[in-house]
Amino acid sequence: MLNAKNGCLDLPSGAMDYIRFGTGPKTLVMIPGVGDGLKTVRGTALPFALLYRSLARDFTVYTFSRRRNLQPGMTTREMAADLNSALDSLGLTSVCLVGVSQGGMISQWLAIDHPDRVEKLVLVVTLSRPNATITDVIARWKGMAERGDYRGIMLDTAERSYSEKRLKKTRLAYRLLGSAGGPKSFDRFVIQADSCETHNAYDQLDRIQCPTLVIGGKEDKIVTGKASEEIADRIPGCSLYMYDGLGHGLYEEAPDFLRRVKEFCG
């Protein structure tokens, strides 16, 4: 049932890693956040499929990284154009699109610029325009990246993403994990972080015509809960669900998160 596969597309703009799993009749595309700049989805098909196995019977699921050769100054809109090329190359004409954090920024542009491509849209813990919170967070992360401080990025992300209840159980593990590994270069991460700072689709959100669900956390310390609410206010007919007591990592913490996505996209 998992039918997990690792793949790489040779696009005109460059190589793009992706994974696929599931056997369901509907196509679900998931776009991850800025952490993709530290580690792409390359080689993660099986663990990803196991983590999201509840989707495998109803959907064929694809997850795409940004292309490997990102250039300084690339915008989320240009990343959406790359994603559109990837969907073209796989013959995926109409998809349910789930974008998380920076992935949600990219997803906004895909739905705006290629409305026939997106059947349904789920925007998770994301924003439509810069705010003071994301500007501060990105500045901190970029400073750590310039120092090669992978551990610092991992710890700061965890502290800002999860509830105190979860952190009490996992804080030590994050400290240990953050001490090992890390990318050879932080260039991809910085480019993606920069694109979050400059992302601004707010004035064009009313062009999104597909059914849309926005999911946010009231305690979001990276993009803020208000950012989710203002997206929902701008998209015609949009549905909004806000989690009490959860923040940017709600897609890992909320036990009913995948059920909500399945019910909306099904």
Contact assessment for residue 80 and residue 12, using Cβ atoms and an 8 Å cutoff: no
Find out if CATH 3.40.50.300 is the number for domain 5-265: no
Place 124 in a pLDDT band, splitting at 50, 70 and 90.
very high
pLDDT tens across 47-77, in order? 999 999 999 999 999 999 999 999 999 999 9
Q: pLDDT tens digit string along 204-219?
A: 999 999 999 999 999 9
Whether residue 41 has pLDDT greater than 80: yes
Contacts 24+ apart (CB under 8 A), 229-238: 230/128, 230/202, 231/108, 231/123, 231/126, 231/127, 231/128, 231/205, 234/128, 234/202, 234/205, 234/206, 235/205, 235/206, 235/208, 236/206, 236/208, 236/209, 237/211, 237/212, 238/212, 238/213, 238/214
In this predicted structure, what is the pLDDT of residue 107?
98
* Alpha-carbon dihedral 44, 50, 51, 52, rounded to 10 degrees: 100
Domain range list for the chain:
5-265
* pLDDT recorded at residue 23: 95
Read off the tokens for 239.
Answer: 């549905």
pLDDT at 172: 77
- Arithmetic mean of pLDDT, 97-123: 98
What amino acid occupies position 86?
A: A
Residue 171 is predicted with a pLDDT of 79
Q: Quick one: pLDDT at residue 170? A: 79
What is the spatial distance between Cα 213 and Cα 251, in angstroms, rounded to a whole number?
14
In angstroms, rounded to a whole number, what is the distance separating the alpha carbons of residues 95 and 118?
5
Q: Which pLDDT does position 184 carry in this prediction?
A: 87
**pTM exceeds 0.85 for this model:** yes
Q: What is residue 173's predicted lDDT score, i.e. its pLDDT?
A: 76
Q: Identify the residue with better confidence: 165 or 172.
A: 165
Q: Which residues touch 46 (CB under 8 Å, ≥6 apart)?
A: 2, 4
Q: For the segment 220-230, what is each residue's pLDDT rounded down to a tens digit? A: 999 999 999 99
pLDDT at 176 over 80: no
**CA proximity to 126, closest of 255, 213, 21, 26:** 213
pLDDT for 180 = 64
Closest CA to 19 of 3, 4, 39, 9: 4
